[in-house]
Structure 1
Amino acid sequence: MNSKVYFVDRAFHWISVFILLFMLLNLSSNLHNIDWDIKGQLLHRQSAVETHASVGIILVIFTLLRLMFSWGFKKSIQRVTPKSKIHAWFISFTHIAMYLCIFLLTATGIAMVNNYEIPLSIFGFELAPSRENFYQNFPQFNDIHIFTQQAFWWLIGCHFFGILHAKK
């Protein structure tokens, strides 16, 4: 095993984990647990959504870097050895589904900010508000986003307990 390659792969993995947890917990906290009167409703919502979207873009960049790195050094990175064909299939399915969720969350997130009712600025790109699109399109994208987020939490749970089971 090439320890430098393994270390870089694990670093990408854990940086992505912490970014993901920050995104999920920070947005929820900003939207539900903070007094909106501090900044005012508009500035508070703008700040929460802009932070969530900016960190989401960073997560996608780290995910793509990890995928490219893993594919480039596939033979060098030691992985858990599956105990059967079903186990190998389950591992592959869980990882593919997790990556698909990240990219679907990104796509629905982009669709939501493009149909949002308040002006947003993400990495310097100004997005104009559209109240008509907000009421027509936003709810459908939000439903898909929330469903995908819930599916992702279940996949994270499967991944976590799978690792615990494989390490025993």
Structure 2
Amino acid sequence: MLKSLFGKKEKVTKETIFAPLTGKLINIEEVPDPVFSQKLMGEGMAIEPTEGIVVAPIEGQVIQVFHTKHAIGLRSQTGMELLIHIGLETVSMNGEGFEVHVKEGQKVKVGDPLITANLELIKEKAASTITPIIITNSDIIENLTKASTGSVTRGTSNILEVKVK
């Protein structure tokens, strides 16, 4: 009994990544940008959003908010690091059309609002609204299971199952 109360905590090794956006889930290889499609930044999936509300896909901590507001980095309980890159070639928008709702160091739970993006403005000023969700430290992954492509709902649809080493 006491050992179960005071014993070492089991290390979390399995994790579900939920959709950070509502839209159409697509394979990372189909993203029309070689940096993402060739997995140069890591393994993942992408979503072509139908709305601009970006929520936390994992429980964890905000580790980076890009000054141009187009991307955010999160670290999960397993140590997995995720990059959510809203749209393609959106860095040139210099934050226009993006509203950040969190700050670096903040803890988040699945479904917490992270960023609101103006999809119409992105369509007008950038290459695409397609949003890659990348595991930037893919070397810690032991096993990765991707969900089937198709419609997903932010905060509730499972897009990746990850087991870390």
Task: State whether TM-score is above 0.5.
Answer: no
Name the structure where helix makes up a greater proportion of residues: 1
Larger radius of gyration: 1
Structure 1 length normalisation: TM-score?
0.27
Name the structure where strand makes up a greater proportion of residues: 2
Structure 2 length normalisation: TM-score?
0.27
Task: Say which structure, 1 or 2, has more relative contact order (CA 8 Å, 6+ apart).
Answer: 2
